[in-house]
Chains A and B, each alone.
Chain A
Amino acid sequence: MADREKILNILFSAIDDFNEIRPGEAPISKSKDTILFGSGGVLDSMGLVTFIVTSEQKIAEETGISITLADERAMSLRNSPFRTVGTLADYIHMLMAEQE
C-alpha cells in the first residue's frame, strides 16, 4: 500500500498539474498545511472539484487504484477531508487502506 509520504507526493504532483492549467491564478503551494477549501482556503467550488478530479486521476495513474474522493461519505464527515492537503492525504490513506 502507498504510505502517507507517497500519497503526499502524488498530491504534490496533482498540485503541479492543477497550477499549470490555471495560469494567472494564485498557485496552490506544495505543503501539507496548505488550506484548500473553506475559510482561508485557496480554492473556490469549481477549483475544489477540479482539484479533486485531478487528484483522483493522479492516484489512479500512480497506484492503479481507483477511488472516489468526493461522495456522500466525504460530505458526512465531521471534519472535511478537503480542508488541507494534509487532511486530504489522510483521507486518501484511509480509503486505500479500506480497499486492501
Chain B
Amino acid sequence: MPVEFLLKRFQEAGTAPAMIWKDRVFHYHELLERIRYWQNRLEEEVAPGTVTVLEGDFSPESVALMLALISRQCVIVPLTAAVESKKKEFAEISEAQVSFVLDARDHAKIQQLAGRGSHHLYQELRSRRHAGLVLFSSGTTGKSKAILHDMEHLLEKYKRRRHDFTTLAFLLFDHIAGVDTLFYCLSNKSCLVTLTDRSPDSVCRAVEKYRVEVLPVSATFLNLLLYSEAYRNYDLSSLKYIAYGSEVMLQSTLERCARLFPGVTILQKYGTTEVGTLRSKSKSSDSLWVKLGGEGFETRVVDGILQIKAHSAMMGYLNAPSPFTEDGWFITGDTVEQKGEYYRIHGRACDMINVGGEKVFPAEVEDFIQTLDNVADVVVYGEKNSIMGNIVCADISLVRQEEPKQALLRIKRACFNNLQPWKVPVKVRIVDGISLNERFKKMRKKICDSSPDSMMQGNLDG
C-alpha cells in the first residue's frame, strides 16, 4: 500500500504534533485514528478507482481523507475556495464521481456526482491499481489543464527520510507545491501549521506563535511582506528557511530579504505541476542562481528553454494533448541561462517581450522599478505595437499618496536614465494595487497563451 510507509512513521511519531489547525494541535496518533476511520468508511462507501473531489483546505480531516483515499486507490481531485468559480468546471473536466466537502468545522459531507471517471488515463491507472491525483494548471489565459499524476510515483521520493522542520502551509492544498509541502512534512514527522488567511500579518503571527522554521511562499508574497512591514511587529527568530518560487524573484527583493533576515537561508525552489518537484540548491541566500535536478530528474536547455525529464512526471493531461517531446522531455516554457551546474530562471518565454527584436524579461524591468522611491509593487507586461512589434508597459502601485503626474514623470525619467532604451516602459499607469491571483502570483497581461504552469516547491528537498 503506497501510504504504508507514512502510517508507520505516524505511529513512530505518536504524540508529536502533526498539524496546527485553527489554533488547535492535532497529534500524529489522532491523525492516524482519523485515517483508520476513513479507511473503514471508504471500504463501505467508495469503490477503488473512484474519481473523488476533495474540497477543503489543509485540515486534519482533509489530510486524513486524502491518505485514506490514496490507500483505497482512488483518484483525488483536491479543490479549494481559491477556485470557487471553477469548481463545477473542474469537477466536469475530471469526470468526478464523488465529492467530499469539508465545512468550516472540518466535517465531511459526501455527495454523488454525475461524472463517470472513464477517461482512458484513469483506466490505465486502475489497471496499475494505483491512486491518482488531478491538479489544475493555474494559467491566467485559456482553459485550465487537468494534470493527472500516478500517486505512487509522486510519493516515491518521500520514502527517504529528510529534515524535520515546523512548516507553514502557505501554499495551497490544490497546488502541487502545497501537496509537496504536505507530504514532505508528514514523511518527516513534522508539524504543519495551517493558516485561515494568507495576509503578511497572519503569516507573521503564525510564525511567531508556533515557532515556524520553514516559510514556503511566492516571490510576490515576499514583496507584500516587505511593504507591509508586518515583520517588524513579530518575533520571527524561529525561521530557518524561506523557500520561494512560483514566479521570477526580483534581485532587489531577494537582497532586501537577505539583509532583513540574516540568519535565514533563502532558497529558490522550482518545479512544474506536470513533472513535480525538483531538488534545488541556491548558490547563496541573495543569489538567483540555482542548481536543479536530484534523483529521478534530468534537465537540459534547448533554444534557451528549460526541459525536464522526470520519473514522477504526470501521466498526461485529461483535456489537452501530450506536451512531452518524443523522447519524453517536458518543455517547461521557462527561459533560463546556464552557468556550469547553475541555472538562472528568467521567466516564462511567453512573458518575454520582444521589442523590435530585443528581448525584455518583465522581471528585469520590475527589478529596477521596484527600487525606486515610493513604489510598492510593479507588474511589467507587453502590449502589441505596430512599430516595434511590442512595447513595454508597467502598472505601478505606490506606498503613499503622490500626485500621479509627478509620480509618472519621476518614474519614467528614472527608467530612461537607467534602462536600455527598449526596456523603458512606454506606457506607465499608477494603479491602486497589483492584481494577484489566488495563488499570490502577479496577474500579467499576456501577449501569447501561457503554456505549462511552472511553480514552486515548499519543502527543503534540496
Q: What is the interface of chain A, defined by CB distance below 8 A to chain B?
A: 17, 20-24, 44-50, 52-53, 57, 70-72, 74-75
Is the Cβ of B388 less than 8 Å from the Cβ of A23? no
Query: For the complex, is B427 an interface residue (Cβ under 8 Å from A)?
Result: yes
Query: For the complex, is B416 an interface residue (Cβ under 8 Å from A)?
Result: yes
Task: Chain A residues near B416: list those with CB within 8 A.
Answer: 21-23
Is the Cβ of A75 less than 8 Å from the Cβ of B424? no
Q: How far is the CA of A67 from the CA of B412 in the complex (A)?
A: 23
Could you list 10 examples of A-B contacts with CB < 8 Å? A20-B413, A45-B387, A45-B388, A47-B421, A48-B387, A50-B424, A50-B426, A53-B427, A57-B427, A71-B386
**Minimal beta-carbon separation of B405 from chain A (angstroms):** 9
Is the Cβ of B387 less than 8 Å from the Cβ of A20? no
Query: For the complex, is B391 an interface residue (Cβ under 8 Å from A)?
Result: yes
**Minimal beta-carbon separation of B136 from chain A (angstroms):** 37
- Contacts A50-B424, A53-B427 known; list 19 others, CB within 8 Å: A17-B409, A21-B416, A22-B416, A23-B413, A23-B417, A44-B421, A45-B388, A46-B355, A46-B356, A46-B421, A46-B422, A46-B424, A46-B426, A47-B421, A49-B385, A49-B388, A49-B391, A70-B386, A74-B386
Is the Cβ of A53 less than 8 Å from the Cβ of B388? no
Nearest B residue to A44, CB-CB:
B421
A-contact bits for B370-397, CB 8 A (1 contact / 0 none): 0000000000000001111001000000
Q: How far is the CA of A48 from the CA of B385 in the complex (A)?
A: 12
* A49-B426 CB under 8 A given contacts A23-B416, A44-B421: yes
Residue among A17, A48, A50, A71 with max Cβ neighbours from chain B (10 Å): A50
Interface size class of B (residues with CB under 8 A): 10 to 19
Q: How far is the CA of A17 from the CA of B412 in the complex (A)?
A: 10
Task: Chain B residues near A21: list those with CB within 8 A.
Answer: 409, 412-413, 416
Task: Chain A residues near B427: list those with CB within 8 A.
Answer: 53, 57
* A46-B388 CB under 8 A given contacts A23-B417, A53-B426: yes
**Minimal beta-carbon separation of A28 from chain B (angstroms):** 14
Interface residues of B in 41-83 (CB under 8 A from A): none
Is the Cβ of A45 less than 8 Å from the Cβ of B386? no
Residue among A21, A22, A48, A74 with max Cβ neighbours from chain B (10 Å): A21
Is chain A's interface secondary structure helix, strand, loop, or mixed overall? helix
Q: How far is the CA of A44 from the CA of B387 in the complex (A)?
A: 12
Nearest A residue to B356, CB-CB:
A45
Closest 5 CB pairs of A and B: A21-B412, A46-B421, A70-B386, A21-B413, A53-B426
Is the Cβ of A70 less than 8 Å from the Cβ of B387? yes
**Minimal beta-carbon separation of B338 from chain A (angstroms):** 30
Task: Chain A residues near B417: list those with CB within 8 A.
Answer: 23-24
Is the Cβ of B409 less than 8 Å from the Cβ of A20? yes
Nearest A residue to B422, CB-CB:
A46
Residue among B386, B409, B421, B422 with max Cβ neighbours from chain A (10 Å): B386
Q: How far is the CA of A74 from the CA of B412 in the complex (A)?
A: 27
Is the Cβ of A53 less than 8 Å from the Cβ of B413? no
Task: Chain B residues near A75: list those with CB within 8 A.
Answer: 386
Task: Chain B residues near A74: list those with CB within 8 A.
Answer: 386
**Minimal beta-carbon separation of B382 from chain A (angstroms):** 13
**Minimal beta-carbon separation of B424 from chain A (angstroms):** 7
Task: Chain A residues near B424: list those with CB within 8 A.
Answer: 46, 50
**Minimal beta-carbon separation of B404 from chain A (angstroms):** 11
Q: How far is the CA of A75 from the CA of B385 in the complex (A)?
A: 12
A-contact bits for B230-262, CB 8 A (1 contact / 0 none): 000000000000000000000000000000000
Nearest B residue to A56, CB-CB:
B427
Task: Chain B residues near A46: list those with CB within 8 A.
Answer: 355-356, 388, 421-422, 424, 426
Nearest B residue to A47, CB-CB:
B421
Is the Cβ of A53 less than 8 Å from the Cβ of B391? yes
**Minimal beta-carbon separation of A42 from chain B (angstroms):** 15
Interface residues of B in 398-429 (CB under 8 A from A): 409, 412-413, 416-417, 421-422, 424, 426-427
Is the Cβ of A70 less than 8 Å from the Cβ of B409? no
Task: Chain B residues near A23: list those with CB within 8 A.
Answer: 413, 416-417
Is the Cβ of A72 less than 8 Å from the Cβ of B386? yes
**Minimal beta-carbon separation of A21 from chain B (angstroms):** 4
**Minimal beta-carbon separation of B204 from chain A (angstroms):** 39
Q: How far is the CA of A46 from the CA of B355 in the complex (A)?
A: 9
